[in-house]
């Protein structure tokens, strides 16, 4: 099931989607370069601002910011690595610069979560949610449960990191 044609902002994230974002905070942000090439970059400073808006604190992402300068649309994927479920979010970004009133209003979210690391946030990239779709892995199609997936991936990670 693909994305529908572009929707207006205001799509609400369900409780599961908010939970994945707030638990793992790592989103893989897809942008497009000035020459039309795809670019994917992980951002580990995501916050759910409200049911219709997510944002990340930009610390060292000059290419992502450059890409957003010519095409503000993004898709961000968040995945619970244990359950192999997640959400893909699409939206058109808005960059909030340090020193602005809006930055001062929302920045405390990053201070609360990341302490001293938050001091390195240069700007905040706000993403009003235009579309949100669930992500799952094929074993669920065959009857796997979340518990099955957690057990499987705990065992796999234990082999990698004994």
Length of the chain: 162
pLDDT band at 5 (very low <50, low <70, confident <90, very high): very low
- CA 114 to CA 120: how far, in whole Å? 10
The number of distinct structural domains making up the chain is 1
Going by their DSSP bridges, the two strands 38-43 and 27-32 should be labelled as: antiparallel
| Amino acid 1: pLDDT | 34
Comparing C-alpha atoms, which of 16, 31, 9, 138 is closest to residue 76? 31
Global pTM reads 0.91
Using only C-alpha atoms, what is the Rg of the chain? 17
pLDDT digits (tens, 9 = 90+) for 107-162: 999 999 999 999 999 999 999 999 999 999 999 999 999 999 999 999 999 999 99
Domain membership flag for residue 100: yes
pLDDT digits (tens, 9 = 90+) for 82-98: 999 999 999 999 999 99
Domain membership flag for residue 86: yes
DSSP state of 115: G
Residue 7 has pLDDT above 90, yes or no: no
Residue 123 tokens, joined = 């700007």
Residue 2 has pLDDT above 50, yes or no: no
In angstroms, the Cα distances linking 20 to 10, 32, 76, 80, 137 are: 19, 25, 12, 6, 15
pLDDT band at 4 (very low <50, low <70, confident <90, very high): very low
Average pLDDT on 23-36 reads 97
Q: Which residues pair with 39 in a beta bridge?
A: 31
Domain membership flag for residue 21: yes
Domain membership flag for residue 77: yes
pLDDT band at 8 (very low <50, low <70, confident <90, very high): low
Q: Could you tell me the residue range of the domain that residue 44 belongs to? A: 15-137
Domain membership flag for residue 162: no
Domain membership flag for residue 150: no
Domain membership flag for residue 147: no
CATH number at residue 22: 2.30.110.10
The region that residue 99 occupies, defined by phi over 0 for left and psi between -120 and 50 for alpha, beta otherwise, is left
Q: Which residues pair with 74 in a beta bridge?
A: 91
Domain membership flag for residue 1: no
- In the chain, which ranges are continuous DSSP H helix? 15-24, 62-70, 101-106, 108-114, 146-160
């Amino acid at each position: 099931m693909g994305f529908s044609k572009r929707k207006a902002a205001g799509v609400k994230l369900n409780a599961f989607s908010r939970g994945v974002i707030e638990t793992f905070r790592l989103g893989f942000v897809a942008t497009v370069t000035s020459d039309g090439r795809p670019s994917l970059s992980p951002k580990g400073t995501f916050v759910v601002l409200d049911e219709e808006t997510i944002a990340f604190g930009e610390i060292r992402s000059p290419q992502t910011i450059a890409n957003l300068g010519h095409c503000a649309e993004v898709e961000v994927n968040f995945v619970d690595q244990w359950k192999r479920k997640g959400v893909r979010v699409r939206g058109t970004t808005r960059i909030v610069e340090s020193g602005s009133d809006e930055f001062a209003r929302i920045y405390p979210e990053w201070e609360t979560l990341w302490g001293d690391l938050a001091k390195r946030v240069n700007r905040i990239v706000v993403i009003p949610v235009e579309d949100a779709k669930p992500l799952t892995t094929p074993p669920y199609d065959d009857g796997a449960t979340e518990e099955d997936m957690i057990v499987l991936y705990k065992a796999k990670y234990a082999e990698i990191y004994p």
